Structure 1
Amino acid sequence: MNHTRSVFIVMLLAVLALGAMIPRIVIDTDPENMLSAEQPDRLRHNEIRATFGLHDMLVVGQVNTEQGIFNPASLAAHYQLTRAIEQMEGVIAADLMSLAAVDNVEQAGPGTIAYDWLIPEAPQTQAEADRIRAAVERLPMYLGTLVSEDGQAAAIFVPIASKDISHRIAQEIQAVVETLDVSDAFHITGQPVAQDTFGVEMFQQMAISAPLAGLVIFLAMLYFFRSLPLVVAPMLLAMATVITTMGLLIGLGYTVHIMSSMIPIFLMPIAVVASVHVLSNFADRYRPGDDPKQVMGAVMEQLFKPVLFTSLTTAVGFLSLLTTPIPPVQVFGAFISFGVLIALILTLCFIPAYTVALKRETLDKMAEKFRAKEEQAAAQDAESLLSRLGRLPTRAPLAVVGAVVGLLLVSGYGIQQIQINDNPTLWFKQDHRIRVADQVLNARFAGTYEAYLAFRSTQAEAQLQQLNEQANRLFAEAERQGVMLDTRWEALWQATENEPNLGARLEALASEIDDQLFMVDADAQAVLETLLDAVESTRSQTRVFQQPEVLAYLDDLKAHLEEQGLIGKANSLADVVKTINRELVSGDPVDYQLPQTANGVAQTILSFQSSQRPDDLWNFVTRDFTQASMWVQLPSGDNQVMSRVVEAVDAYIAAHPLPAGLEADWGGTTYINLIWQGEMVEGMLWALFSAFIVVLVMMVALFRNLWLGLLAMLPLTITIAAIYGVMGLIGKDFDMPVAVLSSLSLGLSVDFAIHFIQRLRMALETTAGDWQAAMALVFQEPSRAIVRNAVVISVGFLPLLAAPLVPYITVGIFLASIMATSALVTLFALPAVISLAPRAFLGAQVHSNS
């Protein structure tokens, strides 16, 4: 207060210096980055993608419910749209899947297949459209994936180079759609575009929601304090807190993820809460003609401990997020905690400096308006409503405590009904174009959500070791018999070490041995021929996924999942082989089956290499046939759906063990979402529990009384129980926004209790230990400050309910609920519990004159 100019200058410099970092912002909306780069599931997911050349995909749906999709106009539009998408920057054109970009597989004669484009050019007649429909209906891999089974919709799967360009590509696709001369409905969805679009709209919404919430908070404070200059102070404090925190985060090189983007929304109420207590106390105390420094000094003397400990408990609540295994959540918790400490410093320094720097006339007018408001209220009612309500819990404590117990019982039941579930697409409101597209396309197709079940042989190393031992024995025996060889096994083996995979290495090795046969005598030829047989045998053994029994296992697993209704559809190498086998044999449905021999499988694969898109095969199997993948399509991206699929696969494998030497792993965006959200929930629960214990210890230390420490935790406990109980009762899933708000509820719910108990202890000194008289004093200015705070924050964040993004709505509802519930519990439950045993909580010396 004696150095106001210095305080303002330091604050301004900090805001300018750190605010200058904000334009360097780097945005990351990829939920995959919720996991650390070294997390095993993420490593395996990336390995699967690299092994099979898999990409994130957008899904474009075209729907014609009147004529169906198989008419010249619709198919021509589909063809034009496909060609346009292929030309877009960032699209992996070679892997794009569309009716206008895949093969028509049909028999050209016995043992011969014709591979032609399904739609070589835009059809002009209905006869051409009918031909295409007939061809599609013969190809099971396309039904449910590229065309709906009712023939009313077609889909284009658009692989993209990276997720962060999906919103841009979706906009370019929409621009092309608007040029098509067709009445069909088009929809664009897929997890990448949902995530990227959420990132774009998230920051647009942030630019609207944060200022709007600030405006409503400002108007609410203006209503209570009746002084424009005075209420500017908390808003400046909140802005400075947000700018310095975000500036530091960006300046230190952290990307702004979905989590950290919500830091401003979270910091706004936290930054304002303490300052509202200070200003409320100041406004109640100040009288025209008073010395502002003396009044503010008395206020800070009284509120220093509550302000300090409420800030520290809030900081602890968010620091607990550092114990979670989710890096963006750790960053979120760390910088929210930093912002809380900045808000604390500004509350203790800037608010007093700003207040005493105001003109006396301004403060006097504020005081006169306050007095006029109080006199008006007194004229209407000799006793304030708050004072009357304050006597209720002390006069009927058992009723209040009984109501609290009942609330906890109901909440406990509700908590048991909570389901842990999330789906990034559901972060949009139901009428959002992404959500509409998701509902329409997943109702018609096998699913726009994908996961990959990857299988790999674990015996390759053992088989190679066996080959090495056999070759070494063979060469050693030849040497004992005096057979002269120009080369050694080690040299042959090392000469092929640069081949890209095991199959290629064994093939190169066989070729090298075959060349050697023409340069040696008869005895050496016999040795090399034996070695060549061993290499060819090993090569055959390692090509696990050319074995009919292994492919049959994949096919049976797929059929089981589809029959159970757990997935929309799955495709694997077995589906490719069955399709080619049918056309090679007869073209009749009866031959849509796996060949009975490995050579028969190899023949179908060799035939597929003549297709227009031979590299599609390597999306299902590696070139050495030691690994294979199954593409699983899901009509829902919910965690619970993916979890049930994983459990079903585990149960099937337990009942029908994998072929010897095989193991299975999951990959794909839907599976990764399940993993990071599971780790987040587990981490959040641990963080909440650990922070609860730390805050309890802090409360006991603050009040130097175990019972008061436990009492201070009551609003926190009841608030969390009530909010999550209601959530379970109304069927709201426990998702990412809800999990993160746990920390906010821990930090804010205990604040009012600290102020209430601390002011009650101070009031006891004024009333010479009369606890009921002290309680009456607390239900004057201190309780007014609590109510003002609760109203300001609750009302201030209600505008978030109009946001188009569900997480913002969730934040708005939770913030309002946390503030309102914790205030009510503080003002009703705490006095009731205290009145049951006042000496236990307040000391043996307290008494009552009532």
Structure 2
Amino acid sequence: MLPQIVIDTDPENMLSREDPARIFHNQIKTDFLMRDMIVVGLVSKNSIFIPETLNIVEQLTNNILQLEGVISQDLMSLNVVDNISQITDQQGVNQGVLFEYLMREAPTTLQASQEIQQAVKRLPMLNNTLVSGDNKAVAIYVPIIAKDQSYAIAEQIRALAANITAVTQKDLAFHITGLPVAEDQFGYEMFVQMAVAAPLAGLAIFLLLWVFFRNIALIIAPMVVAMATVLIIMGSLIGFGFTVHIMSSMIAIFLMPIAVVDSVHILSEFADRFKAGDDASKTIKKVMGHLYKPMLFTSITSAVGFYSLMLTPIPPVKVFGAFIGSGILLAFVLTITYIPSYIARMKPETLAKLQAAIQQMEQKGRLANSLEKLGAFSVKRTKLILIAFIALFAVSLVGVNRIIINDNPINWFKADHEIRIADKVLNEHFAGTYDAWLVFSNNNLQQQDALANFNNILNVANNGATKTAISQTYNQWLNTDKNEKRSFFTQDLLIQLDDFSFNANAQEQPWLEQLYSISEQANNAQKIFTDPAMLNWLVNLQTALVNNGDVGKVNSLTDIISTVNRELNSGDDKDFAIPNSSNGVAQTLLQFQSSHRPQDLWHFVTPDYQRTLLWLQMTSGDNQHMANVVSWVDNYISENPPPIDVQHQWAGKSYLNVVWQDAMVSGMIDSLLSSFVMVFIMMMLLFKSIKYGILAMLPLTFTITMIYGLVGWFGKAYDMPIAVLSALTLGLSIDFAIHFIQRVRELEAEKQSLSAALAAMFQEPSRAITRNAIVIAIGFTPLLLSPLMPYITVGFFLASIMILSALVTLVLLPALLTLLAKRSALKADKKSQHS
């Protein structure tokens, strides 16, 4: 199955295909012919408006236009866009608007280069988008057919740039960025990490097990369990047709250390119990008798922690949780069947050597000595420990309240990655390489009276085939789903009525003319984005958005109209404005459609002029930044209502990232709370005690709070990898508590003394817990070597979680058990004295 692997790093797939925001986003891409863009930038230390640099722009653009997968007609570069100017006669009288290529050929003189510079400054659609405000950077916007081709196309563009001497000589700095290429390049590098990190984790675990057990024959068994678990689960994931997303790419490295946890418990206790000359089969049966129940419950609780991720509304996170949870249960089954059989069939002399080596190591080893001292400290300093943990818990809660929910696909790369560098440099020069689309739609309130008049006339019209056909059209529109319903008074309706009038008889002609008149007037009234009042309101919104500071630039229909209107009139800035009438607006739009790029108009307005799109450019792709813009627009519209009632909605990659992150946060909270309750119930069932159920949950509670407290205090954004950590903490932190409490209770029943039980607990049982914590922590450390930030984040925090949860278990639980025992003894003494 593994060769059939399909990588998917498209954040759009963080939302289900039925999600309204995703459906609307894709509909807008279709309706407005919007494309996924790769942003290519050339940055100079001086002005780019010199012949040599402009020649490179032309050369690079022409080469990019030849690449397969590039939508050539929508590519934006200096040599394929229009300059809009006036045609004047010899007396300087305006003769109309001239649309000519801004740079048909690269200039050969400095003067010609500067003329292009001056022209760009007069074109708001190009200024600070294709050329930076400081004139030191030029951009090429490369639209692509499919976003999953962006990395391959970007690599081809890099190769083209590398062949240009001026670029390779560092005269110009070459950069590529944009969310599509960042996401697709992350997918490529993620695939490489899958092939590197999991084997490194396996190697680290193997070496660590050898350090612990000094017997290669023995430690092969848990490695077989780990490899089998990873291969079966990853093979199943791919075989069932699931794509490998950012989270599911980590399944192998998550399962590798988790799969050996139970094996370490078995090997540790077996090495402690087995004596030279003993029957290995009988010893392993005793070991399994002691460990089966706690291993079963730790496996179930760990699986529940990950299965809880299926409650989130994020499809890749659901898949991740389902397969990790299943992998944990599979590892448990393989462990309890394979490991005992493997050990029972080992040669007696091999086992004797193992036992001797383990005993010697643990009697003289630093680990054994350190744990004995830790146990003594935990029992003697109970009040100090309790006060310290309460203080840490309080500080952690403050940190949790400081957590900032944010993500940005560009930040998935390290700061020195070429994508991050390009993003930083180009956003310092331009209005922004991140975009969002703000779409305004006519609510069609204008058609209500017209519909009533239309229906009244139709009802009194004489019966016949014509009336039946028109009534059918009307009823079909009435029954259309409200989410898909557009205006009734369309151009198609006018054509239909006109066709009927051509063949109408004397009775039909009068009411058909009335219907046509009503429909025509309603159709014209619905073209709200040719209404000067509405367009001027959009101009004010654009200005306010930029002045607010979160948006670098807004491109819209009003820029086209105002530019053409200026050239139709004086050519001066005073005429850079919306015409005073709808007819004047219509004239500017008709003029623009005679340009070399008439299709650009339909990126900003639909042909029926009932919907318009504002293209927002932003210098930050942070979800928090986008959320601030959305909130600001909502407040602005509320305080400054448009002259015509319209509906506003958002689309674009930056906005979709906000939607799925909001869904992830709320889903993770529900997931954590529900699984927390389920695990607590399971603890009470396991120990048949509310007290021990609560005690088992304390290390988990402290660990989660402390880890998220650290996230808040260190200013680390709460993103997808951080969110998923709660499931791992829930699943694995409880593991140590279950083994600790179960063994303490068994030892207390055996020795009839809690202090003796705790002393014995800090022998083999605590070593097994510590070994497991170290094995899992070390198993995740290869992620720290990754060039990808989500992997580094997961590696660092998971290693920290394991060490922290083991320490909390080994320090807090003995202290609390000792305090509770003292309290019970004090109550018993008072009761006996009272008696």
TM-score norm. by structure 2 comes to 0.93
Query: Does 2:390 align with 1:408?
Result: no
Question: Aligned to 1:784, which of 749, 767, 774?
Answer: 767
What is the CA distance between 1:343 and its match in structure 2? 0.6
Alignment of 1:337-352 (within 5 A): 337-352=325-340
**SS state of the match for residue 393, structure 2?**
helix
What is the CA distance between 1:384 and its match in structure 2? 2.5
Question: Aligned to 1:681, which of 665, 672, 686?
Answer: 665
Opposite residue 683 of structure 2, the aligned amino acid is: M
Question: Aligned to 1:447, which of 425, 432, 452?
Answer: 432
The aligned residue for residue 641 of structure 1 is 625
What is the CA distance between 1:265 and its match in structure 2? 1.6
**SS state of the match for residue 98, structure 1?**
coil
Alignment CA distance shift 1:446-1:389 (3 Å): same
**CA distance in structure 2 between the aligned counterparts of 1:396 and 1:123, rounded to whole angstroms:** 82
Q: Is the 8 A contact 1:226 1:369 kept in 2?
A: yes
Alignment CA distance shift 1:614-1:708 (3 Å): same
- Post-superposition Cα deviations, 1:162-192, rounded to whole Å, max 9, x if no partner, equal 2211111110111111112323111111111
**SS state of the match for residue 694, structure 1?**
helix
Opposite residue 814 of structure 1, the aligned amino acid is: F
Q: Is the 8 A contact 2:440 2:613 kept in 1?
A: yes
- Post-superposition Cα deviations, 1:488-515, rounded to whole Å, max 9, x if no partner, equal 59459959999x9989974455567667
The aligned residue for residue 453 of structure 2 is 470
Query: Does 2:45 align with 1:65?
Result: yes
The aligned residue for residue 91 of structure 2 is none
**CA distance in structure 2 between the aligned counterparts of 1:303 and 1:395, rounded to whole angstroms:** 29
Alignment of 1:274-423 (within 5 A): 274-374=262-362, 376-377=364-365, 384-423=369-408
Deviates more, 1:785-794 or 1:424-433: 785-794
The aligned residue for residue 738 of structure 2 is 754
Q: Is the 8 A contact 2:529 2:609 kept in 1?
A: yes
Query: Does 2:643 align with 1:659?
Result: yes
Alignment CA distance shift 1:479-1:770 (3 Å): closer
**SS state of the match for residue 797, structure 1?**
helix
Q: Is the 8 A contact 2:15 2:313 kept in 1?
A: yes
Opposite residue 5 of structure 2, the aligned amino acid is: I
**CA distance in structure 1 between the aligned counterparts of 2:531 and 2:468, rounded to whole angstroms:** 29
Alignment CA distance shift 1:773-1:695 (3 Å): same
Alignment CA distance shift 1:516-1:275 (3 Å): closer
Query: Does 2:709 align with 1:725?
Result: yes
Query: Does 2:125 align with 1:138?
Result: no
Opposite residue 759 of structure 1, the aligned amino acid is: R
- Post-superposition Cα deviations, 1:593-634, rounded to whole Å, max 9, x if no partner, equal 111110110000000010000011000000000111100111
Q: Is the 8 A contact 2:497 2:512 kept in 1?
A: yes
Opposite residue 329 of structure 1, the aligned amino acid is: V
Query: Does 2:444 align with 1:459?
Result: yes
Opposite residue 771 of structure 2, the aligned amino acid is: R
**CA distance in structure 1 between the aligned counterparts of 2:462 and 2:374, rounded to whole angstroms:** 104
Alignment CA distance shift 1:325-1:497 (3 Å): closer
**CA distance in structure 2 between the aligned counterparts of 1:504 and 1:94, rounded to whole angstroms:** 33
Opposite residue 24 of structure 2, the aligned amino acid is: R
Q: Is the 8 A contact 2:253 2:779 kept in 1?
A: no
Deviates more, 1:520-529 or 1:647-656: 520-529
**CA distance in structure 1 between the aligned counterparts of 2:508 and 2:642, rounded to whole angstroms:** 42
Q: Is the 8 A contact 2:435 2:616 kept in 1?
A: yes
The aligned residue for residue 6 of structure 1 is none
**CA distance in structure 2 between the aligned counterparts of 1:631 and 1:173, rounded to whole angstroms:** 25
What is the CA distance between 1:356 and its match in structure 2? 1.9
**SS state of the match for residue 165, structure 2?**
coil
Gaps of 5+ in 1: 1-20
**SS state of the match for residue 114, structure 1?**
strand
Alignment CA distance shift 1:512-1:282 (3 Å): closer
User: How many residue pairs end up in the alignment?
Assistant: 814
Question: Aligned to 1:148, which of 132, 146, 161?
Answer: 132
**CA distance in structure 2 between the aligned counterparts of 1:76 and 1:439, rounded to whole angstroms:** 25
Alignment CA distance shift 1:526-1:89 (3 Å): same
The aligned residue for residue 744 of structure 1 is 728
Alignment CA distance shift 1:147-1:526 (3 Å): same
The aligned residue for residue 592 of structure 1 is 576
Alignment CA distance shift 1:275-1:116 (3 Å): same
Deviates more, 1:31-40 or 1:795-804: 795-804
Q: Is the 8 A contact 2:489 2:519 kept in 1?
A: no
What is the CA distance between 1:656 and its match in structure 2? 1.0
The aligned residue for residue 64 of structure 2 is 85
Opposite residue 820 of structure 1, the aligned amino acid is: I
Alignment CA distance shift 1:398-1:168 (3 Å): same
The aligned residue for residue 17 of structure 2 is 37
The aligned residue for residue 4 of structure 2 is 24
Q: Is the 8 A contact 1:839 1:845 kept in 2?
A: no
What is the CA distance between 1:838 and its match in structure 2? 1.9
The aligned residue for residue 34 of structure 2 is 54
Alignment CA distance shift 1:772-1:73 (3 Å): same
Alignment CA distance shift 1:814-1:845 (3 Å): farther
What is the CA distance between 1:388 and its match in structure 2? 2.2
Question: Aligned to 2:749, which of 737, 758, 765?
Answer: 765
- Post-superposition Cα deviations, 1:686-740, rounded to whole Å, max 9, x if no partner, equal 1011111111111111111111110011110111111111111111111000001
**CA distance in structure 1 between the aligned counterparts of 2:531 and 2:396, rounded to whole angstroms:** 57
Opposite residue 274 of structure 2, the aligned amino acid is: Y
**CA distance in structure 2 between the aligned counterparts of 1:657 and 1:151, rounded to whole angstroms:** 37
**CA distance in structure 1 between the aligned counterparts of 2:160 and 2:472, rounded to whole angstroms:** 54
Question: Aligned to 1:576, which of 560, 571, 575?
Answer: 560
The aligned residue for residue 13 of structure 1 is none
- Post-superposition Cα deviations, 1:334-364, rounded to whole Å, max 9, x if no partner, equal 1111100001001111111122222222222
TM-score norm. by structure 1 comes to 0.91
What is the CA distance between 1:303 and its match in structure 2? 0.8
Question: Aligned to 2:158, which of 158, 174, 178?
Answer: 174
Opposite residue 406 of structure 1, the aligned amino acid is: A
Q: Is the 8 A contact 1:397 1:836 kept in 2?
A: yes
The aligned residue for residue 222 of structure 1 is 210
Alignment CA distance shift 1:86-1:505 (3 Å): farther
Question: Aligned to 2:79, which of 95, 100, 117?
Answer: 100
Q: Is the 8 A contact 1:503 1:624 kept in 2?
A: no
- Post-superposition Cα deviations, 1:371-407, rounded to whole Å, max 9, x if no partner, equal 3324545xx99x8232122111111100011110011
**SS state of the match for residue 260, structure 2?**
helix
Query: Does 2:794 align with 1:814?
Result: no
**CA distance in structure 1 between the aligned counterparts of 2:436 and 2:824, rounded to whole angstroms:** 57
Q: Is the 8 A contact 1:286 1:367 kept in 2?
A: yes
**CA distance in structure 1 between the aligned counterparts of 2:98 and 2:500, rounded to whole angstroms:** 39
The aligned residue for residue 9 of structure 1 is none
Alignment CA distance shift 1:420-1:751 (3 Å): same
Deviates more, 1:607-616 or 1:354-363: 354-363
Query: Does 2:256 align with 1:268?
Result: yes
Alignment of 1:177-192 (within 5 A): 177-182=161-166, 183-192=171-180
- Post-superposition Cα deviations, 1:431-480, rounded to whole Å, max 9, x if no partner, equal 011111111111111111111010111117x62x6445535655777879
Alignment CA distance shift 1:841-1:126 (3 Å): farther
**CA distance in structure 1 between the aligned counterparts of 2:227 and 2:542, rounded to whole angstroms:** 56
Q: Is the 8 A contact 2:302 2:325 kept in 1?
A: yes
**Identity value in percent:** 50
The aligned residue for residue 15 of structure 1 is none
Query: Does 2:215 align with 1:231?
Result: no
